[in-house]
Amino acid sequence: MLRYVAVRLVTLVVSLVLAAVVVFVVLRLLPGDSAGTTLGVGTTTDQLDQLRSELGTDRSALTQLGQWAGALLSGDLGTSFVSRLPVGELISSKLPITVPLSLAAFVLSVLVSVPLGVIAAVRRRGVIGVAVSAVSQLGVAVPVFWVGVLLVWVFALRLGVLPPGGFPRQGWDDPAAAVRSLVLPVVTVSIAMSSVMVRYVRSATLDVLDQDYIRTARSLGYGRWQALARHGLRNGAVPVVAILGIELATSLLGAVVIENVFALPGLGTLLLDSVNGRDLPVVQALVLAITAVVLVVNFFVDLLQRAIDPRLRHGSTLGTSGGSR
């Protein structure tokens, strides 16, 4: 196990390094010029050259990559081209919005999707099972931003019980207003996540129900739910943990999209504004941070899977399910 952890740590570090290089190169290949975007139209060549020299974009790509990598190793994410503020400070100021939104949406989706997925599998031939499967398929097909717009129309414009968007200027100093402003975004993201997770949980539960040890437990007098709880949960948890890890990582991406729908000044808004303004230090720091979150979550998911299933620790393979039946 220790050897596996060491190998995975090395793989994680190498993946982060490669991700940083790819992010840097791709952003430099995109059309546009940071200096030209900052100064706008009507600027002279001398003004552009002076600003490029100040920003450091007139240097070779290899030199810029080396300087950025050195700054990252020292904990410096750089300075924004637009606001001239430290990138780390800009990102940290947005975390109190994006992190609660992502985590709350993930927790809510788990609380909803896991029991619904199990019920959909156990009652797959009944009305409840068919209805849960149908609703989850509909949730996968509907774009997440459209769900957000629909919730705003119903609960903000028609009923007037929740704000349509924005975040209080006092921030979390006014917790009631802050929570109210995040209710609709959290529900929107959790609906999209739950629709996917229900299908995976249902499929994993169906695989467990078809196993011989479940039939043996039933023959010994256990009820369906008792046999599943006593003998099936641990085996079914391995593929479910994998999808939960993916959903936890992608909940951050979902929050980035939804923030623009609900006009929340979080990381999503910062990323969009930085892309439009060609603020490369902010964009590359945010994209690398999101990539790092995905890689780190996957690392811990691998370790958790091996802690749950001893067969993985001893090199045997366990098939995972990838869709509904």
- CA–CA separation, 185 and 104 (whole Å): 10
Residues 6+ apart with CB under 8 A from 308: 234, 237, 238, 241
Contact predicate 72/291, CB 8 Å: no
Taking 90 as the threshold, does the pLDDT of residue 322 lie above it?
no
* pLDDT tens figures, 229-264: 665 666 666 777 777 877 887 777 777 788 888 989
Contact predicate 278/81, CB 8 Å: yes
Taking 70 as the threshold, does the pLDDT of residue 215 lie above it?
no
pLDDT at 182: 93
- CA–CA separation, 63 and 317 (whole Å): 45
> What CATH number does domain 96-313 carry, 1.10.3720.10, 1.10.1760.20, 1.10.10.60, 3.10.105.10?
1.10.3720.10
Taking 80 as the threshold, does the pLDDT of residue 35 lie above it?
no
Give ranges for CATH 1.10.3720.10 in the chain: 96-313
Q: What is the mean pLDDT of residues 79-90?
A: 88
Give this prediction's pTM. 0.80
Contact predicate 284/91, CB 8 Å: no
List C-alpha distances in Å: 119 to 114, 123, 125, 225.
9, 6, 11, 10
Task: Give the least confident one: 13-17, 85-89, 232-236.
Answer: 232-236
Taking 80 as the threshold, does the pLDDT of residue 291 lie above it?
yes
Please, is 186 exposed, middle or buried when counting C-beta atoms within 10 Å of its C-beta (0-12, 13-18, 19+)? buried
* pLDDT tens figures, 41-51: 666 677 777 77
Average pLDDT, the chain: 81
